[in-house]
Amino acid sequence: MEQQARVAYFNEQVLPRWRMRRSDPGICYDDFVNVSPVNWVKLTQEVWFQTWEMQCTAPFPDTLEGLFAQLDFVRQAFPSNRNDFQVHIVFALPESLEDKKTCSVLLTGLFTQLNDYAMAKLYRKHPEIIQDRFYGASTVNHIALFTSLVRGDKLEVNKASGYKFNFVGMRKSYDTPDKIGLEIREGWSTNYDKFKSLMTRVVEMLGNLSRDTTYTIKASKPGNARPFTLLQHLDFMRSTQPESISLPEEEGYGARQLRYEDCDGLLYKEACRLVEVASNENRVKKIPFPQTKVTPEDKLQWVNDPPDVLYARWRKALLPWERHPVFEENTFAQQGILVARLRLKGALAHYLMGLEAERLTPDDTFVHEQVKTFFETTQLFKYL
């Protein structure tokens, strides 16, 4: 059916007698359709989007070989160029408090490193994805995530900055309350064999979590990359702040320097504008928030959350990456990162100030493209 006809059918034929499982009417009508050629696959439809979801049911595979067998079967049974796997690696945290704290801080580091790696790798190829609610760098509060894991709190999956909406999500609500899951989205690797290779490395990392062990997400890092631990990466992300975008020292900018200490406020203003552009074009999925259909009430919530997420993702490129432990004693790479960041800051300052002075026409892709160029130039993903 066409989208409009499908929604009408649901409202008239299904909704009146439907046993609602969720208060949000915008996602995953589990009782709408449940047919499948095999008994271990549950087929459901998301009404608001033209999407079918196949959920593998119990017994779930407990080995990588079993997982890959399921993935291979689904790929062959449902051939399509629009398939996108989401794999949940589910496990339980240790029972003792001290072991749980250790595991939780390591998981926080792994969650951060996985998403930073994917952001640096994919954003250089597809800059538009940073505004997609399902993709983009992790912007979560590390202390809040660690505390939630230790306490066993429900993870905030529906917030714009929540744990679900990343390349790798962190989930709960499995068969038992103490289970945690990493949700790996295939979107960051369109090559199926590379996706399976990534799954193998993530499982190995989860199976050998340690404070002092160095891990690698990329199959092979450059020879000049210094090994680092999950805690070192987490410490870098927590202890460093993105640099401000300084005003260019050129004639004509001096008077405006009294109005703006730097361009950070203008960059945030640009994030607000892009969120509004996306909402007006009904590009719901391209907005970091909300999860459901757009309503006037939803727009009121965008004042804070979505621009904050987009702004934080952009500013990932303004971090002093040359101070990351992977670049220790690598003077050549450190200088390259510094030069790339200076170019990025200069380009952003010229654009934002010109935009404010109405000398430039707004460009919905300009900031994305500049950040993309930074990741293309530095090749950060090879080191993370």
Q: How far apart are CA 296 and CA 308, in angstroms?
A: 19
**Confidence band of 326 (pLDDT split at 50, 70, 90):** very high
Q: Say how many C-beta atoms besides its own lie within 10 A of residue 354's C-beta.
A: 12
**Confidence band of 148 (pLDDT split at 50, 70, 90):** confident
List, as own/partner pairs, every contact residues 287-295 make where C-beta atoms lie below 8 angstroms and the sequence separation is at least 24, other chains included.
287/131, 287/133, 288/131, 288/132, 288/133, 288/136, 288/160, 288/165, 289/133, 289/159, 289/160, 290/160, 291/24, 291/26, 291/27, 291/133, 291/158, 292/24, 292/25, 292/26, 292/27, 292/48, 293/26, 293/48
Q: Which pLDDT value is given to residue 229?
A: 95
Mean pLDDT of 342-357: 92
H or E element that contains 345: helix 331-356
Q: Which pLDDT value is given to residue 74?
A: 79
Structure tokens, 173: 């609500």
184 phi and psi angles, rounded to 5 deg: -95, 125
Q: Which pLDDT value is given to residue 221?
A: 87
Q: Which pLDDT value is given to residue 22?
A: 44
- What's the CA dihedral at 248, 249, 251, 255 to 10 degrees? 80
Q: What is the pLDDT of residues 149-170, one digit of tens each?
A: 888 887 765 454 456 656 788 8
- Which residue has better confidence, 373 or 122? 373
Which residue bears the tokens 């293309």? 376
DSSP string, 112-178: HHHHHHHHHHHTTT-GGGGGSTT-S-----HHHHHHHHHHTPPP-TTSTTSSSSSSEEEE--SSSTT
Which DSSP letter does residue 244 get? P
pLDDT surpassing 80 at residue 242: yes
- What's the CA dihedral at 172, 241, 131, 111 to 10 degrees? -30
Encode burial over 156-169: b for 16+ CB neighbours within 10 A, e otherwise. bbebbbbbbbbbbb
Q: What is the pLDDT of residues 182-240, one digit of tens each?
A: 988 766 666 788 888 888 989 999 998 999 999 888 888 899 999 999 999 999 998 99
DSSP string, 360-382: S---TTHHHHHHHHHHHHH-GGG
Q: How far apart are CA 272 and CA 276, in angstroms?
A: 6
Q: How far apart are CA 235 and CA 187, in angstroms?
A: 28
Q: How far apart are CA 310 and CA 316, in angstroms?
A: 10
Q: Is the dihedral of CA 360, 362, 365, 366 positive or negative?
A: positive
CA–centroid distance for 42 within its chain: 26
Half-sphere exposure (Cβ direction) of 364: Cα atoms closer than 13 Å: 10
Q: How far apart are CA 181 and CA 105, in angstroms?
A: 15
Q: How far apart are CA 93 and CA 288, in angstroms?
A: 30
Q: How far apart are CA 3 and CA 38, in angstroms?
A: 27
- Does the model's pTM come out above 0.85? no
Q: Which pLDDT value is given to residue 38?
A: 64
Q: Which pLDDT value is given to residue 20?
A: 46
Is the peptide bond between 325 and the residue preceding it cis, with omega within 30 degrees of 0?
Answer: no
Q: What is the pLDDT of residues 217-233, one digit of tens each?
A: 888 889 999 999 999 99
Averaged confidence pLDDT in the chain: 77
Sort strands 51-56 and 168-171 into parallel, antiparallel or unpaired. Answer: unpaired
Q: What is the pLDDT of residues 4-57, one digit of tens each?
A: 776 677 677 666 654 444 444 443 444 444 455 566 777 665 544 456 677 777
pLDDT surpassing 90 at residue 137: no
Which among 54, 57, 63 has a CA at the least distance from the CA of 40?
A: 57
Q: Which pLDDT value is given to residue 277?
A: 78
**Confidence band of 104 (pLDDT split at 50, 70, 90):** very high
Question: How far, in Å, are 70, 86, 103, 112, 199 from residue 196 at the CA level?
Answer: 12, 12, 25, 20, 5
Is the peptide bond between 320 and the residue preceding it cis, with omega within 30 degrees of 0?
Answer: no
Half-sphere exposure (Cβ direction) of 46: Cα atoms closer than 13 Å: 15
Give 207's contacts (C-beta < 8 A, 6+ positions apart): none
